[in-house]
Amino acid sequence: MRWREICGIGFAIGLCAFSCGAQAQSPYGIGRPATAAEVAGWNIDIGRDGSNLPEGSGSVSHGREVFAQQCASCHGEKGEGGLGDRLTGGQGTIGTAKPIRTVGSYWPYAPTLFDYIRRAMPQNAPQSLSDEDVYAVSAFILNLNGLVGADAILDAKSLAAVKMPNRDRFVGDARPDVKR
């Protein structure tokens, strides 16, 4: 009886050691730990709620200057489009036969603007703008769309607070939608 108990306890200890060990170790032991600094340097994902937006801020007026230098050659002086996408106008057209899809008329979340400009724009030199410049250009584009005032200065909190007009118009994938 006693021997059995000892065996049982021994087995339980062995099982725990195995499972605890398995949890703390990688199955193949391949790769090395990513440091917090490495993750911080590469993780430029901004959530729709503004999570992970950086420190800093930018004004509409500064954004006007940056936009003229960095963006207008493709997107037009006032974001009317050209080689690059049209960025302004179109509100009220999305449910019509001729929808005009722009930041103001179609984009559901304002923080996505910061995310996209920082990672991908300007197309000839992405990730070259400072966070302050990205806030400023985001503010200017939102101002062109009538979504923030001309004196607005946007930071993490105020950018996340901008309510985009088309936010609630996205639905799930209902396919297959042609049935026989």
Partner 1 sequence: MSSTTPPDDDSVTTTRRRFLTAATAAAGGAVLGADASVAAETGNLPPNVPEWMKAPGEPTGGQPYGAPSPFEKGVVRNISKSLKQYISASSRTPLQELDGIITPNGLFYERHHGGVPAIDPAQHRLMLHGLVERPLVFTMDDLRRFPSESRIHFLECSGNPGYTKPYGKTASDLVGLVSCAEWTGVSLKLVLQEAGLKAEAKWVVAEGADAAALTRSIPIEKCLEDAMLVYSQNGERLRPQQGYPLRLLLPGFEGNMSVKWLRRLHVTAEPVYSREETSKYTDLLPDGTAREFSFYMEAKSIITRPSGGQRLSAPGFHEITGIAWSGHGKIARVEVSVDDGRSWQDARLQEPVLTRALTRFRLPWRWDGKPAVIQSRAIDETGYVQPTLAELLAVRGENYFYHNNAIWPWRIAANGEVTNALA
Does residue 46 belong to the site contacting partner 1 (CB under 8 A)? Answer: yes
Tally Cβ neighbours within 10 Å of residue 134: 27
> For 88, which DSSP code?
S
From 62, 64, 75, 86, residue interacting with partner 1 (rule: CB under 8 A): 86
**Binding to partner 1, residues 101-160 (CB under 8 A):** 101-103, 106-109, 112, 115-116, 119-120, 123, 126-127
* Residue entry with tokens 């060990």: 21
Task: Look at the alpha carbons of 4, 8, 11, 13 in this order and tell me if their dihedral is positive or negative.
Answer: negative
> How many Å apart are CA 163 and CA 50, to the nearest integer?
12
111 touches 50 (CB < 8 A): yes
Q: Residue 85 interacts with partner 1 (CB under 8 A)?
A: yes
Q: Does 174 bind partner 1 (CB under 8 A)?
A: yes
**Residue 159 in contact with residue 140, Cβ under 8 Å?**
no
Among 8, 99, 146, 149, binds partner 1 (CB under 8 A): 99
| Closer residue to partner 1, CB minimum distance, 58 or 104 | 104
169 binds partner 1 (CB under 8 A): yes
CA 129/CA 159 separation, integer angstroms: 17
Contact 159, 143 (CB under 8 A): no
Residue 109 carries which DSSP code? B
Point out which span in 12-20, 58-66, 145-153, 168-176 binds partner 1 (CB under 8 A). 168-176
Nearer to partner 1, 9 or 44 (CB): 44
Q: Under the criterion CB under 8 A, does residue 21 sit at the interface with partner 1?
A: no
- Residues lying near partner 1 in the complex (CB under 8 A) are found at 23, 26-28, 30-34, 38-39, 42-48, 81, 83-86, 94-103, 106-109, 112, 115-116, 119-120, 123, 126-127, 169-178, 180
